[in-house]
Amino acid sequence: MSTQTRGGMQKGTITKYRPFTPIDLPDRQWPSKVITTAPTWCSVDLRDGNQALPIPMSVEEKLEMFDLLVKVGFKEIEVGFPSASQTEYDFTRRLIEENHIPDDVTIQVLVQSKEDLIYRTFDSLRGAKKAIVHIYNSTSAQQRRIVFGLDKPDIVGIAVRGVRLIKDLVATLPETDITLQYSPESFSLTEIDFALEICEAVVDIWQPTPDKKIILNLPTTVEVSTPNIHADQIEWFCRHLRNRETAIVSLHTHNDRGTGVASSELGLLAGAERVEGTLFGNGERTGNVDIVTLALNMYTQGVDPDLDFSDIQAIQQIYEKCTRLPVPVRQPYAGELVFTAFSGSHQDAINKGMNAQDASSSDLWDVPYLPLDPKDIGRSYEAIIRINSQSGKGGVAYLMESEFGLQLPKAMHIEFGKVIKHLADVRGSEILSTELFTAFEQEYLTRTRPFSLQSFESRTLLNKDSSQTIECVACVTVNDVVHELRAQGNGPIDAFVRALNQHHLASFKLLTYNEHAIGQGSETQAVAYIQLQTESGTLFGAAMDTNIEIASIKAVLSGLNRSSSAN
């Protein structure tokens, strides 16, 4: 029983839509395959991507985008539809006449299977060294019935006439190496046997060879099935295509179901050798396949994608400038937050993983929650962990060390983590790293009441048994009253602790002491961390100074000031 309210979704049995019919391929081979080499990549940013923009790119912006695509490493770039508008034509001519096309790059031009458009397309290619002429016509039952009102033989006739004309016109461009690409548009919705029939009719006219292949591009113009069915379509086509060795099977997946990347990956497993797509997935409706994601997916599996995304942020900046489209913060690999952990457990695991990675002699990347080393694509480690109310002690400790060089003792992680969690709860927003350090300063480094150090000196005394004792002389202000202190101990810190206790200025025990240096040369500072047992409990003090002895004495007073505040 199906019901539907006006403007709403059907409930119960859905009769408005029907599931896509699977391909009969019981002996499919693609599920056991793996991707071991990169496909041939073709960027369609300047055509599919451009036509999907609310404000299409200007010629200057298209030139900047073309140069970016070349720099990334694309060897095939669809530059436009030169017969569709004067702007598209002029851009193609400018690329050729101003020598923007490297010798190892082939431009691709799109054209419908219409006589006047094909003539105009060939005119735009004069002087090009290499070009792919990409001809297409719609083939699906839906398009045949609703758009064209034509039967299958008529649709085959459109394709064949266009390809025959292109073959005749090749002689008019003797200086240009022409490759033919044919697309049965809406392949994903076309009966698989008819898609094969029309492609083979095109192949019969073109007569490709293993040395001079034709490109058969099989577009998922609209995603209508799960990726496994798309893979079945591609494998069935590849297995049934006559003279398979004379053709390059190409994928062109859109993202209507949000599975464009998966469809392309499975399509490659199924036998395709080439992929058309765009940077960051820009394209009509929900976009084309995202080549950045697809390529970096391969990279994380140990496959060289033959594209260079070493400076992903620079690529993103040019892309956003030319397209006026933002890259979402959760976009795979490129998004601002994709390498960022807010969760406390994630932060702790990443922190431990990064430490283990630094200590490892292996080149193998093995860090929890980070499938890719951010530095491989020019991302900084600074943004891996960010702090909000969901964050934990491990993330706070990681940032304190990675950004400020402060190696907090492990027992101190919990204490300072609570300070930051309270701050985040009060704020109700993310805590920036600069605010993290400010909080550390306020909690540990800048407290001067009730205890404040005015001066400190220590000297070594030689005992009768030849052992040594350290004597300290200190001047400490407690609640604005100055106290001269003197005591002996087994070290400067021990002597100072004894002096405070013996003069009844404080009652506490020293539990642990840690120190390290920050910086180099004249800029070096010592950092000391002192854990104390006081009447109010166990807590830490911390201090920084150019002198390690003074830093440790200040750290003792830091802990006492924090204890007094707690009381």
Helix 192-206 / helix 152-169 crossing angle, nearest 10 deg: 30
Instruction: Give percent helix, percent strand, percent coil of the chain, each to the nearest 5.
Output: 45, 25, 35
Buried b / exposed e over 183-194, threshold 16 CB at 10 Å, is: bbbbbbbbebeb
What is the Cα–Cα distance from 56 to 368, expressed in whole angstroms?
41
Question: In this structure, what token pair is assigned to residue 24?
Answer: 């009969």
In this structure, is the dihedral angle defined by the CA atoms of residues 256, 262, 266 and 267, taken in order, positive or negative?
positive
255 neighbors 287 (Cβ within 8 angstroms): yes
- Strands laid side by side in the 508-518 sheet: 508-518, 525-534, 537-545
- Strands laid side by side in the 451-462 sheet: 451-462, 468-478, 481-489
48 is in an annotated binding site: yes
In this structure, is the dihedral angle defined by the CA atoms of residues 341, 347, 351 and 353, taken in order, positive or negative?
negative
40-43 and 76-80: which strand pairing? parallel
What is the Cα–Cα distance from 341 to 421, expressed in whole angstroms?
15
**451: helix, strand or coil:** strand
Amino acid letter, 54: P
Give the C-alpha distances (Å, rounded to integers) separating 370 from 16, 168, 365, 374, 396: 42, 54, 9, 8, 18
What is the Cα–Cα distance from 298 to 477, expressed in whole angstroms?
64
What is the Cα–Cα distance from 44 to 109, expressed in whole angstroms?
10
228 is in an annotated binding site: no
Q: What is the largest CA-CA distance in the chain?
A: 114
425 is in an annotated binding site: no
182 neighbors 126 (Cβ within 8 angstroms): no
The DSSP 8-state label assigned to residue 47 in this structure reads: I
Q: Which residues contact 351 (CB under 8 A, 6 or more apart)?
A: 385, 394, 395, 397, 398
What is the Cα–Cα distance from 549 to 456, expressed in whole angstroms?
9
End-to-end CA distance of the chain: 70
What is the Cα–Cα distance from 526 to 358, expressed in whole angstroms?
23
508 neighbors 533 (Cβ within 8 angstroms): yes
368 neighbors 350 (Cβ within 8 angstroms): yes
230 is in an annotated binding site: no
Tokens 């390690």 belong to 548
Known binding residues for Mg(2+) are 48, 252, 254, 288
Known binding residues are 48, 252, 254, 288
